[in-house]
Amino acid sequence: MIRFLFAAGLIWASAAQADEMVTYTTEQSFGDVTFGVENAILNQGLIPENVSHVGEMLDRTRADVGSDVVLFEAAEVFSFCSAALSRKVMEADVMNIGFCPYDIFVMQLPESEEVTIGYRAFPDGAMQEVQSLLDQIVKEAIGEE
């Protein structure tokens, strides 16, 4: 029983760590930051596979779900993958498939001049190389490299 509780505790700790966000803020415009993210991803030889317009979707559907809360002035999530890096982390542990594709979000809250950019923190081990890549991209996007 103690072995089970210990294992359950380790699983919970890993899940909690994976739910943390790494964020940076800037006074740059939302448009400049999103343009910077796209360029920084391309500069790594990668292609943004998808851009989710989360802010627009939530604004468009808020009345439909019975809310009048405006969550974001603007919010987008950029999804992409690296074949070489993904193969490397999945060869280390095939369960790392759950982290792919990799996402970087950019958001601006209503009535705020600040723009926040970030990504989900990854667990220790092979996924730290992905986290380093995301950190490079984010810092380049806002000129903090």
pLDDT for 143 beyond 80: yes
Split at pLDDT 50, 70, 90, the class of 17 is very low
| Average of per-residue pLDDT values in the chain | 90
Distance, CA of 87 to CA of 19 (rounded, Å): 23
Cα 127 to chain centroid distance, Å, stands at 13
The answer to whether the beta carbons of residues 115 and 23 sit under 8 Å apart is no
- Extended strands (E) in the chain: 21-26, 50-52, 74-80, 102-108, 115-120
Give residue 67's identity as a one-letter amino acid code.
S
pLDDT of res. 19: 64
Judged against a pLDDT cut of 60, whether residue 100 lies above it is answered with yes
Task: Write out pLDDT tens, residues 56-93.
Answer: 999 999 999 999 999 999 999 999 999 999 999 999 99
Supply the pLDDT for residue 145. Answer: 73
Is the pTM above the cut of 0.95? no
Mean pLDDT computed over 104-118: 97
CA–CA distance, 53 with 50 (Å, rounded to integer): 10
